[in-house]
């Protein structure tokens, strides 16, 4: 397996624009990365854009602090799964 298949191509800045998301998607497809990792807001768009490719959608839950309650993290995860996310990275509450 090639190293690129282990890469999560990530854009998690709170001010990410649609153009920036489109760029990350294109780069991931062109390079056959494993995932495009985004905040939950972008999951549906990314999932649709990646259909038919070898790249899957990933997202973060409770990012960046992990201070959400378990109930909120579960709801957020379920919503992302409903919109096509393949992989979830959940930030734990270290406090």
Find out if CATH 3.30.420.40 is the number for domain 3-90.
no
Return d(Cα 35, Cα 19) in angstroms, integer. 18
Q: What is the pTM of this model?
A: 0.92
Return d(Cα 41, Cα 38) in angstroms, integer. 8
**pLDDT tens-digit profile of 32-90?**
999 999 999 999 999 999 999 999 999 999 999 999 999 999 999 999 999 999 999 99
Contact 91, 63 (CB under 8 A): yes
Q: Is 2 helix (H, G, I), strand (E, B) or coil?
A: coil
Contact 21, 14 (CB under 8 A): no
């Amino acid at each position: 397996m090639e190293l690129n298949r282990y890469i999560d191509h990530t854009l998690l800045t709170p001010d990410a624009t649609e153009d920036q998301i489109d760029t990350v998607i294109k780069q991931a497809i062109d390079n056959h990365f494993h995932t495009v990792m985004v905040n939950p807001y972008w999951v549906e768009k990314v999932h649709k854009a990646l259909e038919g490719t070898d790249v899957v959608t990933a997202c973060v839950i409770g990012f960046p602090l992990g201070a959400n309650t378990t109930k909120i993290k579960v709801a957020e995860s379920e919503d992302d799964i409903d919109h096509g996310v393949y992989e979830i990275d959940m930030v734990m509450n270290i406090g």
